[in-house]
Each structure stands twice: as structure tokens, then as C-alpha cells.
Amino acid sequence: MRLTLVRHATLLVELGGRRLLVEPMLDPPGARPPVEDSPEPRRNPLVPLPFAAEEIVAGLDAVVVTHLHRDHLDDTGARLVPRDVPVFCQPEDEERLRALGLDARPVETELVWEGLRIARTGGRHGSDEATVAALAPVSGFVLDGLYVAGDTVWCSEVEEALERHRPRVAVVNGSGARFLQGGPLVMTAQQVREVVDRVPTVVVVHLEAVDHCLETRAEVRAAVPEALVPEDGETLELGPDQ
């Protein structure tokens, strides 16, 4: 298994001889306005891509989109994703993805695609019921032994996914992103520790690329030294025993 962090939550995954793109946020820096109610408003994305967008979408076998917030599928990503590859998604997003001309493949609970088991998991994108309801629906996905948690805090849905699927590797969205009011929208470094205690290899992404993502790589590394915190463009070689 090879994981390349492109930027934010965008990943290239090489798994079982397949090349998958997760969360295609491919806009150039500053293409979008600040997140509404961001504590530190700046135009997004904050940083450039480490590779050309056209290079990122070359040779793909499939795409995974956990949900349709702009920092997980943006205008450039929607334009460049090839129309002849499956885009695995939550059922609620099928219609909008098909309207973009994409080959949306909704995952209700679990399916097998060309020998790869794909399961969908739950999550909570926020720390209070009102925020969770406003930002729903969101999902995570398990690709064989790889769990991509998506935009979620630590919650019973994540704990249940770990207990049920027993992944070798978990990719979690860190940074403790938040609005001006309320608690974190995704995992804080302290919540990442809950995953580290349960999964052999934990990779933390979703850092330093969008204005409401507050915790830095340095802070996450200091708080959870057992986790892997890649730089943009960095590739992690994770063997079958990890």
C-alpha cells in the first residue's frame, strides 16, 4: 500500500495494483473565498498543489468522494476527474455527481469492485447536534485494510467502524477545524490519539491548507508522535504488515 498526500485530504492511493484518488480538491491557491465564519479568514486553498492537477488525475482506476463539501470536491476536481472511472460516494451524493457527468457509484453499506472490498462508515462532522445536522451527510470508507475516516470527530460511529473492520491503516482528518462558535468539526490531536490506540498505523491529513483548520502539523506531531503526519507531496510506503 502506498499513500501520497496531495494536499489537505486529497490522497493518491496505490492498493492492490490500482490507483485511486480520494477527495479531489484541485483548485489553485486562493480560488475560493474564506470558509464562512472562519476564525482566521483567508482565501482557499492556502497552499499550491505539489504536482500539476492533470498529473494527479492521470491513470486513475477509481475515485472516492466522502461528501460534497468544497474542500473535498471542488470545481477543478469535478472538471478534471475522468468520466470513464467509477466515483464511489455516499448514496445522498449520487444525483449531484451524475449531474456533473461523473460515473457515480453509491455505496449503501458494502460492495466489491474488481476484487476490492469497499465499505461505507458513519461519522459526525461537528461537536453538537445542530452543527452535525447542518453539515450532514458525511461518510468514511474502508478500502480493504485502509480506513479513510472522512470529516468526523471521534465518536461512536468511528469507534464502531474500527471495531467492525479492524483496518491496518487509518487516515484521519485532523486540525480541529472549527467555526467562530462551537467545538471542533473534525478530529483534534487529542482525538487522534483514540485512533492511534486502536489501529497499527494512523496517518493524519487535512492540515494547513484551508483557513478554518487550526492545528498545525508541528502541533499534531508533538501531541501524537506515534501518528504519521506527511507533508504535501510526500509518499508513505505502508507494507502488508502495517
| Mean pLDDT per 10-residue segment, the chain (242 residues) | 98 96 98 97 98 98 98 98 98 98 98 97 97 97 97 98 98 98 97 98 98 98 98 92 41
Q: Which residue has the cell 470529516?
A: 151
pTM of the predicted structure, to 2 decimals: 0.97
Q: What is the pLDDT of residue 240?
A: 63
C-alpha cell recorded at residue 20: 485511486
CA angle, 45 as apex, 226 and 136 as ends, to 5°?
75
Kindly tell me the burial class for residue 174, based on how many C-beta atoms sit within 10 Å of its own C-beta (0-12, 13-18, 19 or more). buried
Q: Name the residue with cell 464502531.
A: 160
Would you tell me which CATH number, out of the four given (3.10.450.200, 3.40.50.300, 3.60.15.10, 3.10.20.600), belongs to the domain 2-235? 3.60.15.10
What's the pLDDT at 239?
73
Four-residue CA torsion sign, 48, 21, 210, 228:
negative
Return phi, psi of residue 75, to 5°: -60, -45
